């Protein structure tokens, strides 16, 4: 695919020869992305090579051995290993592996990096029984190259990790930490910058007392792509799994979940329950609430909730059709009034509703990609889509299911590897929009081409 050259970047070669394979690979890869590269060999005796980014010559980036570049790395400098993915498993990255260093505010190189790195998967492994790890979580493990895993993760679940992958234990138990949280965040970011497929495997659901927010915030701070695979919480195993159901008609209509410890000045201290018991500052979650959202809003206000308090409605959580509307208790009813009230929606009120996951650092930006292919090809191609930050969409069953209304899947782009399946799909759901259509025989090449086009398009 030919792409017009749009930009020129000026790179310094430090301890790397201009006619080396590495320099040639960078030159070719960037040219494919629509960027011309100009090299200049630097022989200056400098203690910190990243200082060259502030020099009079105004280099956009520096290509130098990884070990040399990360020494005394400035807080305003980012990096990645510019090695395009052509194999399922990359060779180990060593200290002498060439890496590209650049200033964080260089939006051009941030966009280029999206083509060379994979989205890190934060996976909830369930409460201990490997059968309670989701299919999506197991698929992420089967395609990873590095896995950082916590305590209480089932050994049989770790068996899903490829034999060629690297497993790193970073577990924490009460009072006993194998490593510090800042170190875990840094390792995750470093493995991602090396272009490796990384899984952060946590017990239960990572969003419930799993310090997931800190690790996700690290990736937002470094502008690195990631995705989250929710897990079955130990809360559910301990209640639903034992018969102590959290909700029972005429007995319990809801619940609050707290940790008996809280962080203060970086340390855990004894619990303080007073503020929680007097007026719990907890989020309130309502299931199947759309038909009565107006009544719910009024009742919450009467009980002291402020009209300015954040609120949100979620439809189709975790599906390709997921939709989130955020507002406040005062305007959320107006914001959702034109939505189909028959669809199940989850209504949430509380400060936590202002937060969201971020996919803007990836190549595909969460693009929904419908795969039309033979079933045996799907796992590998879905892993490739996820690695580039896309969202794979499976076609609905072609058979008409009695008593079940199957909806046409929502998607942005369709990749066709099997013409017969595509014909059956079109016969039932209608023809595809030609602008969103890609056809071919090599699924991985098609996905890489799509990622290349999306990154190149953002460089304009």
Summarize pLDDT for 245-286 with one digit per residue, the tens.
888 888 888 887 777 655 555 554 444 444 433 445 578 888
Residue 53 has what pLDDT?
Answer: 86
Token pair in block for residue 345:
């929606």
Mean per-residue pLDDT of the chain: 85
pLDDT at residue 2, as a whole number: 44
Q: Which residues of the chain does CATH 3.40.190.10 include?
A: 7-113
Q: What is the pLDDT of residues 398-420, one digit of tens each?
A: 655 555 566 778 899 999 999 99
The encoded tokens of residue 408 equal 């046409």
Task: Check residue 279 and give its pLDDT.
Answer: 47
**Would you say residue 287 has pLDDT above 70?**
yes
pLDDT of residue 309 exceeding 80: yes
Instruction: List the Cα angle 188/189/195 in 5-degree steps.
Output: 95
Contacts of residue 123, defined as CB under 8 A and 6 or more positions apart, other chains included, come to 133, 136, 137, 140, 141, 199, 200, 201, 202, 206, 229, 231
Q: What residues are labeled active site?
A: 150, 172
Strand partners, 264: 267
Residue 460 CA to residue 455 CA, distance in Å, equals: 10
Residues 6+ apart with CB under 8 A from 188: 120, 148, 198, 200, 215, 218, 219
Alpha helices (H) along 351-429 = 378-387, 419-429
Answer whether 456's CB lies under 8 Å from 5's CB. no
- Specify the CATH superfamily of domain 7-113: Periplasmic binding protein-like II (3.40.190.10)
Among 171-175, 178-182, 212-216, the minimum mean pLDDT is found in: 171-175
For residues 183 and 55, the model is more confident at 183
Q: Give the CATH class of 271-354.
A: alpha beta
> CATH classification of 120-236, choosing from 1.10.150.20, 3.40.50.300, 3.30.1490.100, 3.40.1010.10?
3.40.1010.10
pTM equals 0.86
Q: What is the pLDDT of residue 85?
A: 60
Comma-separated ranges of CATH 3.40.1010.10 domains in the chain: 120-236
Cα separation of 290 and 337, whole Å? 9
Q: Which residues pair with 326 in a beta bridge?
A: 312
Please say if the pLDDT value at position 92 is more than 80. Answer: no
- CA distance from start to end of the chain: 17
Q: Looking at residue 359, what DSSP letter applies?
A: -
Model pLDDT, residue 271? 47
DSSP 85-144: --SSSPPPP-TTSEEEEEETT-HHHHHHHTTTS-PEEEEE-BSS-GGGS-HHHHHHHHT-
* Pairwise CA distance, residues 202 & 122, whole Å: 8
CA-nearest of 31, 287, 232, 196 to 187 is 196
Give the pLDDT confidence of 29-45 residue by residue, as tens digits: 888 888 888 888 887 77
CATH architecture for the domain at 368-458: 3-Layer(aba) Sandwich (3.40)
Q: Where in the chain is the domain with CATH 3.30.950.10?
A: 271-354
């Amino acid at each position: 695919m030919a792409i017009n050259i749009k930009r020129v970047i000026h790179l310094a070669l430090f301890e790397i020869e201009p006619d080396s394979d590495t320099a040639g690979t960078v030159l070719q890869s960037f040219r494919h992305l629509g960027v011309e590269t100009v090299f200049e060999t630097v022989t200056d005796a400098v203690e910190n090579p990243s200082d060259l980014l502030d020099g009079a010559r105004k280099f956009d980036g520096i290509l130098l051995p990884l070990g040399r570049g990360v020494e005394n790395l400035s807080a305003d400098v980012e990096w990645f290993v510019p090695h395009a993915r052509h194999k399922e498993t990359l060779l180990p990255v060593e200290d002498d592996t060439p890496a590209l260093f650049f200033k964080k505010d260089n939006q051009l190189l941030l966009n280029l990096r999206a083509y060379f790195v994979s989205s890190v998967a934060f996976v909830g492994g369930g409460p201990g029984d490997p059968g309670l790890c989701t299919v999506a979580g197991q698929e992420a493990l089967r395609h990873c190259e590095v896995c950082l895993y916590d305590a209480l993760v089932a050994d049989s679940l770790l068996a899903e990790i490829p034999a060629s992958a690297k497993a790193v234990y970073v577990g924490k138990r009460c009072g006993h930490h194998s490593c510090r949280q800042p170190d875990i965040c840094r390792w995750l970011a470093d493995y991602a910058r090396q272009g490796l497929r990384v899984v952060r495997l946590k017990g239960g659901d990572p969003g419930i007392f799993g310090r997931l927010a800190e690790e996700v915030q690290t990736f937002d701070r470094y502008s690195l792509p990631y995705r989250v695979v929710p897990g079955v919480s130990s809360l559910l195993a301990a209640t639903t799994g034992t018969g102590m159901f959290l909700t029972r008609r005429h007995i319990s209509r809801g619940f609050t979940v707290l940790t008996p410890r809280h962080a203060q000045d970086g340390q855990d201290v004894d619990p303080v329950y007073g503020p929680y018991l007097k007026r719990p500052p907890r989020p309130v979650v309502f299931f199947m609430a759309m038909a009565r959202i107006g009544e719910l809003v009024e009742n919450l206000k009467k009980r002291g909730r402020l009209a300015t308090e954040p609120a949100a409605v979620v439809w189709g959580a975790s599906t390709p059709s997921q939709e989130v509307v955020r507002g406040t208790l005062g305007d959320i009813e107006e914001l959702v009034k034109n939505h189909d009230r028959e669809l199940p929606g989850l209504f949430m009120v509380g400060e936590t509703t202002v937060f969201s996951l971020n996919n803007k650092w990836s190549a595909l930006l969460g693009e929904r990609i419908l795969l039309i292919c033979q079933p045996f090809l799907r796992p590998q191609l879905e892993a490739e889509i996820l690695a580039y930050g896309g969202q794979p969409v499976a076609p609905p069953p072609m058979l008409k299911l009695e008593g079940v209304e199957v909806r046409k899947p929502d998607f942005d782009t369709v990749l066709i590897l099997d013409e017969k399946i595509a014909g059956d799909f079109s016969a039932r759901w209608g023809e595809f929009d030609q602008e969103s259509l890609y056809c071919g025989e090599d699924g991985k090449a098609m996905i890489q081409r799509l990622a290349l086009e999306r990154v190149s398009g953002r460089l304009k």
